[in-house]
Amino acid sequence: MTDMIIRGGSILTMDGTIIDDGVVAVDNGLIAYAGKDTGEKADRVMNAKGCAVMPGIINAHTHLSMTVLRGLADGLPYGEWIKKIQSEEARLTPSGIRAGAYLGMLEMIKSGTTSFADMYIHMDEIARAVEETGMRAALGYGMIEGQNEDADSKLRSRERFAREWNGKADGRITTMYAPHSAASCSKEFLIRVKELAARDRSRIHIHVLETEHELQLMKKRYGMCSVNFLNSIGLLGPGTLAAHCIWLSDDDIEILRKNNVNVTHCPASNTNLGAGIAPVPAMLGRGINVALGTDGAASAGSLDMWKEMRTALYLHRLKDPRSIPASKVLEMATVNGARALGIRAGMLKPGYLADIIIVDLKKPQFISPDQVSALVHGASGCDVKTTIVNGEVLMEDYRVTKMDEGKIIGDARDAMRSIAE
């Protein structure tokens, strides 16, 4: 018999169909069925009447623990922001990183994010936290060459992390190799990373052309931009997740396309820091898999992916309102994000991971003949009432089930106080 059935809701499969008054059946952490209600029975039945039932949202680029750096450098352009943040980051302890990770995951679970791709430091703390919270994550231990330790030592520790944690937590954790960017690592280092990733069949998570400064630096150093450079050393491929991708030429877009690179678009962070507008409609138009992410809370403010969806919608419609339908933005946050992380999620289909959220549609802003458009325009994290990952209910009717909210918030405040002192 099925473990759980979600009944009565409007099912957005993200696979081309919306089923009114449908049913989603979950068995053994996977979706067993999503379609018309045919009277299935189950151990547990959830009532989704008046709600949308959809795949959990995927945040395809973040630095989770930066939640404890929130508000320290607001209203600064990228160059000054990064200096200020890095000086605060230097004071982060493993316990601060841990507190930031829990705070971030509390926010994500409450706002309907079920998976995320993270790149930061002290990643074992984050991995342990993911294991405990029940979320799904693709974790990369960030590498800036020359920072804190020598290249050999750094590669060994990242390799150890990647191998130790891949597949852990019932498969909810996957690992990636995460060289910070083409500008912050040498060619030799990047080639070694590429070889490790190939040997381990791991994906690679890297920042690409977030700033004009990086473009200029790469041209000066190598006579070509980051995309060309990474291509020249064979680091671009279907296993690459390139975050930001703002300062691209048309040729760069073609290179990304040819290599089936995944791109994560972070509109809130990009606009907030004055970094620029990524050519997302152009990339989508060429068939590139563009996902959505928040980046860190220190530049994005919140980890609410609905805010991210809305910002993407407005930003690209500024130039051409026809260039980005609401349905496309919702795909970026689900289908495309899953593809970027290499996970069988982002759709409600038999055999897919049971990462599901329930959104309360009984609110004035959702009264519309176009449900998808109403969601993208009008939903916020606090409209999500239930969050399920791997068939496990992490939040039900707005109550998180496994996390001690008071403790998490208290620990985060303590961490922020330590940083301030």
- Site residues for its own copies per CB under 8 A: 67, 70-72, 74-78, 81, 103-104, 106-107, 110, 267-268, 271-274, 276-277, 297, 300-304, 307, 310-311, 313-315, 317-322, 324-326, 362-365, 367-370, 373-374, 376-378, 380-383, 408-409, 412-413, 416, 420
Tokens of 308: 């991210």
Q: How far is the CB of 62 from its own copies (least distance, A)?
A: 14
Q: At what angle do helices 123-133 and 151-165 cross, to 10 degrees?
A: 10
Rounded Cα gap, residues 128 and 136, in angstroms: 12
Rounded Cα gap, residues 71 and 74, in angstroms: 6
Nearer to its own copies, 193 or 374 (CB): 374
Could you tell me the CA-to-CA distances from 243 to 78, 278, 378 in Å, in that order?
A: 15, 10, 26
Nearest to 81, CA basis, from 265, 246, 219, 271: 271
Nearer to its own copies, 49 or 413 (CB): 413
Q: How far is the CB of 39 from its own copies (least distance, A)?
A: 28
Nearer to its own copies, 210 or 304 (CB): 304
Q: How far is the CB of 392 from its own copies (least distance, A)?
A: 20
Nearer to its own copies, 276 or 342 (CB): 276
Q: How far is the CB of 228 from its own copies (least distance, A)?
A: 26
Q: For the CA atoms of 22, 24, 25, 29, what is the dihedral angle to 10 degrees? A: 180
Q: How far is the CB of 398 from its own copies (least distance, A)?
A: 10
Rounded Cα gap, residues 64 and 79, in angstroms: 21
Tokens of 201: 């069949």
Nearer to its own copies, 133 or 202 (CB): 133
Nearer to its own copies, 152 or 421 (CB): 421
Nearest to 340, CA basis, from 205, 192, 140: 205
Rounded Cα gap, residues 154 and 145, in angstroms: 8
Rg, the chain, Cα only: 21
Q: How far is the CB of 373 from its own copies (least distance, A)?
A: 4
* 308 three-class SS: helix
DSSP type of residue 350: T
Q: How far is the CB of 418 from its own copies (least distance, A)?
A: 12
Nearer to its own copies, 147 or 367 (CB): 367
Nearer to its own copies, 42 or 408 (CB): 408
Yes or no: say if 14 and 335 are a contact pair by the CB < 8 Å rule. Answer: yes
Q: How far is the CB of 413 from its own copies (least distance, A)?
A: 6
Yes or no: say if 284 and 245 are a contact pair by the CB < 8 Å rule. Answer: no
Yes or no: say if 290 and 336 are a contact pair by the CB < 8 Å rule. Answer: yes
Q: How far is the CB of 78 from its own copies (least distance, A)?
A: 8
Residue 113, beta-bridge partner list: 57
Q: How far is the CB of 250 from its own copies (least distance, A)?
A: 22
Residue 392 dihedral angles phi and psi, to the nearest 5°: -100, 135
Nearer to its own copies, 71 or 146 (CB): 71
Nearer to its own copies, 126 or 178 (CB): 126
Yes or no: say if 165 and 127 are a contact pair by the CB < 8 Å rule. Answer: yes
Query: How crowded is the C-beta side of 220, counted as CA atoms within 13 Å?
Result: 7
